[in-house]
Structure 1
Amino acid sequence: MFTLPKLPYDYAALEPTLSADTLHTHHDKHHKAYVEKTNELATKAGLDGGPLEEVVRESAKASDKRLFHNAAQAWNHAFFWDCMTPKSAAPTGELKAAIDEAFGSLDAFKDAFVEEGFNHFGSGWVWLVTGSEGLKVISTHDADDTLVKDGLFPLLVCDLWEHAYYLDYKNDRKGFLKAWLDRVANYAFAGKQLAASEGQGDGFRYPSPSANDDSSDRRAAPGEAERPQA
């Protein structure tokens, strides 16, 4: 059975950017519901016991939309929690160099990220990814997609569903995205993901079904990190 990963920080740690009320609602209700439904549907589909990444891929191949939507959302949310930190700091090293090469500057990257997320119609996710074409910003719709099954490697993601920000920002999605990038975006995590995409270290993986509730291990075993396709 998959478990709901604990937040890597206290519920109030991201205030005032995101309130404790928002995180309690988002994590304890929305994410929990996706995990519980994934467990129920994966068992029926005979996919329980394996990694969540496998459930996402196999349900997509089988066109099992209910299982795919819930499994993909469970994975996306777990990745999202690690994309935030109460100690946000500007990108450094290879990530900074890659952002400068792809976008021209950190500010230009932020502008592109905000505009992609703001102009995304309806619910979904806005991502910083890397692949054969280098770094770029993309968005995915609703629960219909996840980078687990795409030829891209995720570095950073922000949730565009209203439950992610409405309690704190009402309908000001642009204001939310700007504050998110400036105050809580975890560029250190994104840097580790970039290194993992190049075979240096381990990338993000959802905790295995065998992990206990206290497990904080969200990294792949050596050699198991997902790689971007050429």
Structure 2
Amino acid sequence: MKFELITLPYASDALEPVISKETIEFHHGKHLRAYVDNLNKLIQGTKFENADLETIVAESDGAIFNNAGQTLNHNLYFTSLSPNGGGEPTGRLSEAINQKWGSFDNFKEEFTKAGISLFGSGWAWLAKDKNGQLVIIQEPNGSNPVAQGMTPILGFDVWEHAYYLDYQNRRPDHLNALWNIIDWEEVGKRY
């Protein structure tokens, strides 16, 4: 299977001022493109040559895992964003968040803390575990909840390339701003 760079569901300047056109062009057009291209080269002639992305993340290691994980992570991340985003989730996801954390505001605070406190590069994830329960987890580098048998629902990228052009070393500012562009309709489909 040959993987393709996803097409963004919005223009590269549509998420401004939260994420600049320049950041989108580097993050999507260069970083994600490199992961996709590297993954395609690495899986040639391996047992993963015709596997889907989730299978590769669940069963691989090393360079294949890193590039597959980052491809999956970024595909989920970029499709979680919208210039018309923000607000709060609705339906089943909202009910599950309120049941687990007591309120959306409590969830948002805990999720943001997970992103701020992750040492180095990685991801903060809202995921559904094997029992259908929501959890917030930190994944280092390019890992994804799929590697732990979970379903990823929402991921915040805390690699510096995701925010440094716009926020420099102010990771908390970036994470707090992301809530204004979350596409809860799309995210809710993953639950």
Q: Report the TM-score, using the length of structure 1 for normalisation.
A: 0.78
Cα distance in 1, alignment partners of residues 124 and 59 from structure 2: 24
How far has the Cα of 1:53 moved from its partner?
A: 2.1
Specify the alignment match of 2:136 in structure 1. Answer: 137
Specify the alignment match of 2:28 in structure 1. Answer: 27
Cα distance in 2, alignment partners of residues 92 and 78 from structure 1: 22
Unaligned runs of 5+ in 2: none
The answer to whether the 8 Å contact 1:155/1:189 transfers is no
The answer to whether the 8 Å contact 2:59/2:147 transfers is no
The answer to whether the 8 Å contact 2:57/2:146 transfers is yes
Cα RMSD, aligned residues only: 1.4
Q: Does 1:72 align with 2:42?
A: no
Cα distance in 2, alignment partners of residues 69 and 82 from structure 1: 20
Specify the alignment match of 2:80 in structure 1. Answer: 83
Specify the alignment match of 1:38 in structure 2. Answer: 39
* Percent of residue pairs identical: 39
How far has the Cα of 1:156 moved from its partner?
A: 0.6
The answer to whether the 8 Å contact 2:42/2:64 transfers is yes
How far has the Cα of 1:164 moved from its partner?
A: 0.2
Q: Does 1:108 align with 2:114?
A: no
Aligned length: 188
The answer to whether the 8 Å contact 1:87/1:184 transfers is yes
Q: Does 1:17 align with 2:18?
A: yes
The ranges of structure 1 where at least 4 consecutive aligned residues each deviate by more than 4 angstroms after the TM superposition are none
Specify the alignment match of 2:50 in structure 1. Answer: 49
Cα distance in 1, alignment partners of residues 136 and 184 from structure 2: 15
Cα distance in 1, alignment partners of residues 108 and 58 from structure 2: 31
Cα distance in 2, alignment partners of residues 188 and 48 from structure 1: 33
Q: Which has the higher helix share?
A: 2
How far has the Cα of 1:92 moved from its partner?
A: 1.2
Secondary structure of the 1:95 match is helix
The answer to whether the 8 Å contact 1:17/1:180 transfers is yes
Amino acid in structure 2 at the alignment position of 1:72: G
The answer to whether the 8 Å contact 1:125/1:159 transfers is yes
Q: Report the TM-score, using the length of structure 2 for normalisation.
A: 0.93
Cα distance in 1, alignment partners of residues 173 and 51 from structure 2: 39
Cα distance change of structure 1 residues 20 and 173 upon mapping to structure 2, 3 Å threshold: same
The answer to whether the 8 Å contact 2:124/2:156 transfers is yes
Amino acid in structure 1 at the alignment position of 2:89: P
How far has the Cα of 1:133 moved from its partner?
A: 6.3
Amino acid in structure 1 at the alignment position of 2:144: T
Unaligned runs of 5+ in 1: 195-230
Counterparts of residues 123-202 of structure 1 (less than 5 Å): 123-131=121-129, 132=131, 134-143=133-142, 145-181=143-179, 183-194=180-191
